[in-house]
Amino acid sequence: MPLTADRVQSALDRPVRFYEQVASTNDLALAWLRDGASAGAVVLADEQTLGRGRLGRAWLAPPGTALMLSVIVRPPSEAVGSMTMLGAVAICELLESLGAADVGIKWPNDVRLNGRKVCGILPEAAWDGQRLLGVVLGIGLNVRIDFANTPLADSAISLEPALDTRIDRLDLLVTLLSRIDLWTQTLQARHELFAAWKRRLTMLGQRVSVSSVDDSMQQGVAEDVDNTGALLLRTDDGRLHRLVAGDIALGKQDQPDGD
Ligand code: BTN
């Protein structure tokens, strides 16, 4: 079923702005947040023309093929760094509720289904000087994007072909928002969220390559994560490195397996 403003409005009990086409839902949600949008408000689009991904990448999907939204969250400022975890855990729970068996998180926040990326998460915070106004939690979930004959054919996957069933994006949205709401209420004490995130990380204990924002590459064993979500990488010289961002791939690679 196509997403329409009427369907979306009547399914959600919260402020929502639906667009058939936007540049980026995160941009609109950030503007709405600065304009006083309440916590839980949602910007949803059927198509993005300038969707943004992590590390300055683009995030594009043809109309009708993905669930793309930005949720406005007003977390305590010390919980800003946990928003990626929150998004990833909520998506995992959504997929698990649909019966998906092989669901995991590739550090820091790519949700994978059957070993391939099915969802990306981009939280962006808005500040007024030192004061946190809120966070926009941007989520892009591949529902029926056809990745065949694209550079992402081996690394990305869509929900419908993976589960071999037709899925209404509105049903996904309703369940996803309920999981986000629940986890948002736990943000004062984040140990439960952290445990739910860490339990689903796929590469701990394994040999990995991590490329950083500056394109430098480090290899070693993904030994653990600390309670802020940073990756603890043990390199071959025995040193432990704390990495807060980057792209991780299994084994020794020239390029990490991006999205
Ligand atoms: C990633 O690179 O993995 C994160 C991708 C996040 C994409 C979503 S789609 C909805 C929201 N609006 C954006 O412009 N980006 C996020």
Tell me what pLDDT residue 212 has. 81
- Confidence (pLDDT) at 79: 95
Q: Is the pLDDT score of 258 beyond 50?
A: no
At position 155, the amino acid (one-letter code) is S
Residue bearing the CA closest to ligand 1, atom 3:
120
Long-range contacts made by residues 235-240, C-beta under 8 angstroms, separation at least 24? none
**What integer is the mean pLDDT of 45-54?**
94
Is there a contact between 106 and 203 (Cβ–Cβ < 8 Å)?
A: yes
Q: Enumerate residues lining ligand 1, CB below 6 A.
A: 24-26, 48, 51-54, 57, 59, 68-70, 110, 120-122, 138-140, 259
Question: Is there a contact between 153 and 91 (Cβ–Cβ < 8 Å)?
Answer: no
Residue 215 has pLDDT above 90, yes or no: no
Question: Over 60: is that where the pLDDT of 257 sits?
Answer: no
- pTM of this prediction exceeds 0.85: yes
Model confidence band, residue 251 (pLDDT cutoffs 50, 70, 90): confident
Mean pLDDT score of the chain: 94
How far the first Cα of the chain sits from its last, in Å, is 27
The whole-number pLDDT of residue 32 equals 98
Average pLDDT over residues 102-115: 95
Peptide bond into 63 cis (omega under 30): no
What's the pLDDT score for residue 201?
97
CA geometry: angle 180, 181, 187, nearest 5 deg: 85
* Atom number of ligand 1 nearest to Cα 57: 2
Mutate-to-test residue for ligand 1 from 18, 22, 26, highest number of ligand atoms within 8 A of CB: 26
What's the pLDDT score for residue 50? 93
The residue to mutate among 21, 43, 59, having the most atoms of ligand 1 within 8 angstroms of its beta carbon, is 59
Between residues 166 and 213, the one the model is more confident about? 166
The best mutation among 22, 54, 68 to test binding of ligand 1, ranked by most ligand atoms within 8 Å of the C-beta, falls on 68
CA distance 220 to 238: 9
- Residue 106 clears pLDDT 60, i.e. is over it: yes
Give the mutation target among 17, 33, 48 for probing the ligand 1 site: most ligand atoms within 8 A of CB: 48
Task: Specify the residue with its C-alpha closest to ligand 1, atom 16.
Answer: 138
CA of 60 to the centre of ligand 1 (A): 9
Contact 178, 93 (CB under 8 A): no
- Protein residue with its CA nearest to atom 15 in ligand 1: 52
- Residue identifier of the C-alpha nearest atom 11 of ligand 1: 138
pLDDT of residue 252: 67
**In the predicted model, is pLDDT for residue 213 greater than 80?**
no
Q: Report percent pLDDT > 70 for the chain.
A: 97
Per-residue pLDDT at 255 exceeds 60: no
174 alpha carbon, distance to own chain's centre: 17
Confidence tier at 60 by pLDDT (50, 70, 90):
confident
Omega prior to 108 cis, within 30 of 0:
yes
